[in-house]
Amino acid sequence: DAARLSEEIRKMAGASYGRYKSLTGDWEFEDFTLTIDRVQSDPFAPPSRISVRIPADVADMPDHAWHSPVRRRATADYLVRQAYRNLKGASLRIDAGGQEVIERASGRIHDGDVLLRLGIELPGHGRKIDARSAERELCERLPDMVDALRWDALDAAEATAFADTVEDTAALRDQLPALGLVAFAADGAVLPRRSGVSDLPMEGAAVPFESPESLRVSVKLPHRGTVSGLGIPEGITLVVGGGFHGKSTLLHALERGVYDHVPGDGRELVVTRSDAFKIRAEEGRGVERNDVSAFVRNLPTGSDTADFSTENASGSTSQAANIAEALEAGSHTLLVDEDTTATNLMVRDERMQALVHGDREPLTPFVDLVRPLHREHGVSTILVMGASGDYFDVADNVIMLDEYRPYDVVDRARELASHREDAEFTAPAHRVVDPRSVSATSRGKTKLKRRDMDVLTFGENDVDVRGLAQLVDPGQIVGAGLALRVLAEEKLLDGERTLAQALDVLEQRLDEGGVTALGRGFSGDYAMPRRFEIAAILNRLRSLRVRR
Ligand code: ADP
Ligand code: MG
């Protein structure tokens, strides 16, 4: 019990740091169970890991706080954020999210019990145990934090509003397919962020979103009632407008619209189909046996672009591979911004066509493919393109941003459009991953590490993840690494299933088991990745080998 833990810690005062190891195991406090899972070997090693179980009768949450999977995720997230605030200045830490509400291992609700995972830098004076501080952290701050998480100690109205907000967002996103929409941005939403490095809403000067009447859609939500906003229909939507008029800001909000946002974020009612994937050029990435022939043919090197591999893709081939892989993983909604594309894969004007004839130009621009992609493969595209009118020829909707306000300019754009022959888009390749080529181990040990938001080390691979715009939480990077480990070690990649089939099986397990189905035996922090980012990271493993 708690008194025994105090006593044990006091006995260790001044002892060598390694004695902390003897605390490993369960400790029954009056109101909760503390488990010391893993003790760091010295004060400079990564923090020790502990978990806390607050039983349902102590947490005392009303049913409505956790009765559905969505509310459970939201309330757990809320509790973690409260714990995070409560632990400011402590050596205890908990992994709380940013502006998105993403299921994470640090806070879960199971049958009304609250399960938390935390880190603690066990205090030391040099390499000696600092018992006073350790006792204060584990026997005072921790129980205080648990106390503050009881429903009657919380701001119940705020906690409920948090879950209501997330539930509304999820309900809105769920309605998109039936409405024939790929995205929705509510009137009044605040899209711009405080700065390039802060995801908080812009203060003061932000112009609230206001939909053009012709594209305005009303949707009924469980808590807020009816809301109106811009509905972006399936098909090809072009976003145009002068530089600095807010095009990329809109697209960024749509990229993040696959996630739910915290109340006050400004993007709570900006949603995108959950299968949306941001496509960009990513020069230098590797590609393993993919079919990019729709975009690239007759390379001067003579390589077969229907079965294309490279260690070092160009801007255009990397973007083509990103599209092929997104489709292979099951995306039917592509998001593209001119700012991060390879121009030669997007457009080619008439004069260039006259100078460089068809058979000398290996690239088929996206503008010739975007229509067959929709018509024959059901893939919608939202594209920001302020620099070329070529897409007028193929767009179903054209939205112009003018001083951050969207206008429907499709009629005018149609007047300016010309006839354009489509190219042909064959279905994406479905590859079978060689299971031996995906391994989380390096020299016999699991190696899974994240560096900032930049790199995932997975076994022998260092994967550059900076090109994955919808990887928004550090925990998702680790989560994606763990997902790859599950794919490999639990034989979901069995040499028979296609990659998409293996992802289906994984997703089903995560639906049933929650995020912690990813991390058996792993005590660190991680959050739920999407299947598209899991696939994207897999596709960036330099060790990857596939069969077709
Ligand atoms: P574009 O892609 O059209 O060139 P951006 O989306 O990059 O434009 O936006 C340019 C600037 O305008 C950015 O600094 C952005 O934060 C700001 N901005 C975007 N939308 C709004 C808005 N609704 N209200 C105020 N500022 C905005
Ligand atoms: Mg831009």
**Which pLDDT tens digits describe the chain residue by residue (548 residues)?**
789 999 999 999 999 999 999 999 999 999 999 999 999 999 999 999 999 999 999 999 999 999 999 999 999 999 999 999 999 999 999 999 999 999 999 999 999 999 999 999 999 999 999 999 999 999 999 999 999 999 999 999 999 999 999 999 999 999 999 999 999 999 999 999 999 999 999 998 999 999 999 999 999 999 999 999 999 999 999 999 999 999 999 999 999 999 999 999 999 999 999 999 999 999 999 999 999 999 999 888 888 999 999 999 999 999 999 999 999 999 999 999 999 999 999 998 889 888 988 778 889 999 999 999 999 999 999 999 999 999 999 999 999 999 999 999 999 999 999 999 999 998 888 999 999 999 999 999 999 999 999 999 999 999 999 999 999 999 999 999 999 999 999 999 999 999 999 999 999 999 999 999 999 889 999 999 999 999 999 999 999 999 98
Q: Which of 96, 120, 154 is the last residue of a domain?
A: 154
- Reported residue count of the chain is 548
DSSP E strand boundaries for 328-368: 333-337
The minimum-distance atom of ligand 1 relative to the CA of 250 is 6
Angle between helices 499-513 and 474-489 (to 10 degrees): 110
For ligand 1, say whether the CB of 44 is within 6 Å of any of its atoms: no
In a shared domain, residues 402 and 456: no
CA of residue 404 to ligand 1 center, whole Å: 7
In a shared domain, residues 348 and 363: yes
- Report ipTM (2 d.p.): 0.99
For ligand 1, say whether the CB of 179 is within 6 Å of any of its atoms: no
**Cα dihedral value 491, 496, 502, 504, nearest 10:** -130
Q: State residue 151 phi and psi, 5-degree precision.
A: -55, -40
Count of CB atoms situated within 10 Å of the CB of 46: 11
The minimum-distance atom of ligand 1 relative to the CA of 339 is 2
Residue 329 is assigned to a structural domain of this protein:
yes
* In contact, 24 and 137? CB cutoff 8 Å: no
Using alpha carbons, select from 523, 542, 409, 533 the residue that is nearest to residue 469. 533
In a shared domain, residues 186 and 273: yes
Using alpha carbons, select from 66, 63, 56, 9 the residue that is nearest to residue 36. 9
For ligand 1, say whether the CB of 252 is within 6 Å of any of its atoms: no
For ligand 1, say whether the CB of 354 is within 6 Å of any of its atoms: no
Residue 280 is assigned to a structural domain of this protein:
yes
For ligand 1, say whether the CB of 247 is within 6 Å of any of its atoms: yes
In a shared domain, residues 222 and 364: yes
* In contact, 369 and 294? CB cutoff 8 Å: yes
Give SS3 for 182: strand
In a shared domain, residues 230 and 344: yes
User: For the chain, how big is the Rg over CA atoms in Å?
Assistant: 26
* Residues linked to residue 261 through DSSP beta bridges, in sequence order: 100
The pLDDT assigned to 433 comes to 98
* In contact, 502 and 433? CB cutoff 8 Å: yes
CA of residue 22 to ligand 2 center, whole Å: 56
From the CA of 244, the nearest ligand is: 1
Which residue has the least CA distance to atom 20 on ligand 1? 246
| The total number of structural domains that make up the chain | 3
Which residue has the least CA distance to atom 11 on ligand 1? 244
CA of residue 336 to ligand 2 center, whole Å: 11
The pLDDT assigned to 359 comes to 79
The pLDDT assigned to 193 comes to 98
Residue among 194, 230, 244, 400 whose CB has most ligand 1 atoms within 8 A, to mutate: 244
CA of residue 245 to ligand 2 center, whole Å: 8
From the CA of 245, the nearest ligand is: 1
Place of tokens 């897409």: 391
In a shared domain, residues 315 and 401: yes
Residue 229 is assigned to a structural domain of this protein:
yes
Residue 163 is assigned to a structural domain of this protein:
no
Tell how strand 198-201 and strand 193-195 pair up. antiparallel
Place of tokens 């300019």: 409
Give residue-wise pLDDT tens across range 207-266.
999 999 999 999 999 999 999 999 999 999 999 999 999 999 999 999 999 999 999 999
In a shared domain, residues 450 and 422: no
Tokens of 85: 């605030």
Count of CB atoms situated within 10 Å of the CB of 542: 13
For ligand 1, say whether the CB of 404 is within 6 Å of any of its atoms: yes
Which residue has the least CA distance to atom 9 on ligand 1? 246
CA of residue 382 to ligand 2 center, whole Å: 14
From the CA of 192, the nearest ligand is: 1
Residue 389 is assigned to a structural domain of this protein:
yes
Residue 167 is assigned to a structural domain of this protein:
no
In a shared domain, residues 415 and 443: no
Residue 168 is assigned to a structural domain of this protein:
no
For ligand 1, say whether the CB of 244 is within 6 Å of any of its atoms: yes
Residue 170 is assigned to a structural domain of this protein:
no
Domain range for 344 is 175-429
Return all residues near 504 (Cβ < 8 A) that are at least 6 apart: none
The minimum-distance atom of ligand 1 relative to the CA of 252 is 6
In a shared domain, residues 479 and 415: no
Using alpha carbons, select from 303, 305, 335, 299 the residue that is nearest to residue 320. 305
Using alpha carbons, select from 424, 261, 428 the residue that is nearest to residue 334. 428
Give SS3 for 389: coil
In a shared domain, residues 394 and 310: yes
Letter for the amino acid at 340?
T
In a shared domain, residues 69 and 46: yes
The minimum-distance atom of ligand 1 relative to the CA of 193 is 16
Give residue-wise pLDDT tens across range 107-141.
999 999 999 999 999 999 999 999 999 999 999 99
